[in-house]
Chain A
Amino acid sequence: AQSVTQLDSHVSVSEGTPVLLRCNYSSSYSPSLFWYVQHPNKGLQLLLKYTSAATLVKGINGFEAEFKKSETSFHLTKPSAHMSDAAEYFCVVSDSNSGYALNFGKGTSLLVTP
């Protein structure tokens, strides 16, 4: 069975400082990994996805994530936070065992302060 653990339910950073949102996963199969963002009262938007090619994945809006198989981690980072980054972030795993349905973590709420 696959699962995702987002290690922090809330993260607060100052504008202009780095962002780190942590995610660990478990999967018995070769997983696909994603990060999604959900702004208040908006739909889900794909930030980036791991395709088993490059372990460092670059996404939109300056976000990137590194797949570390030995640590079963897929942490999301951004060098400098912007006020518009405040949102809910979901780490997601998918594999063939569940028909490639997306398995979501519980989410991390990112607060960016001036």
Chain B
Amino acid sequence: DGGITQSPKYLFRKEGQNVTLSCEQNLNHDAMYWYRQDPGQGLRLIYYSQIVNDFQKGDIAEGYSVSREKKESFPLTVTSAQKNPTAFYLCASSIGRGSAYGYTFGSGTRLTVV
């Protein structure tokens, strides 16, 4: 079955360390997105990519980086510059440019800084 796989489900990071969250999709979707969810804040957009080798900053990109070398993969790196990284991270994909439909969400990664 097609879908989005996020790994790991839970992740612990020491302060000052970079950590990379994985997001893989087999839906043949062109567009991929990273969101951060905090209690009472809804989901906020970190980065998005509409095509391979191209990506744009979302509303809260500071302290994060991404790459899009393959259509199927959109990893997110949480750097030491991110002041408050403890949150729930959701990856999503959609059919592609010119469409807001056909969104699929992964099951998320819960990151905790210890």
Contacts and interface: CB of A to CB of B under 8 A. Distances in A.
Q: Give the bracket for the number of chain A residues in contact with chain B.
A: 20 to 34
Interface in B94-110: 94, 97-101, 103, 105-108
Interface stretch (A58-66, A74-82, A92-100): A92-100
B17 to A, nearest CB: 27
A102 B100 contact: yes
Nearest to A9: B40
A32 B103 contact: no
Interface in A12-46: 32, 34, 43-44, 46
A102 B40 contact: no
Given A99-B50, A102-B43, A104-B42, A43 B107 contact: yes
Contacts of A99: 31, 48, 50, 56, 97
B53 to A, nearest CB: 15
A100 B97 contact: yes
Contacts of B89: none
Given A106-B41, A107-B42, A100 B90 contact: no
A43 B92 contact: no
Nearest to B47: A101
Contacts of B43: 90, 102, 104
A100 B101 CA distance: 9
A101 B108 contact: no
A32 B100 contact: yes
Nearest to A91: B42
Interface in B13-32: 31
B7 to A, nearest CB: 15
A9 B56 CA distance: 30
Interface of B: 31, 33, 35, 40-45, 48, 50, 56, 58, 90, 92, 94, 97-101, 103, 105-108
12 contacts: A43-B90, A43-B105, A43-B107, A99-B48, A99-B97, A100-B31, A100-B97, A101-B33, A101-B48, A102-B33, A102-B45, A107-B40
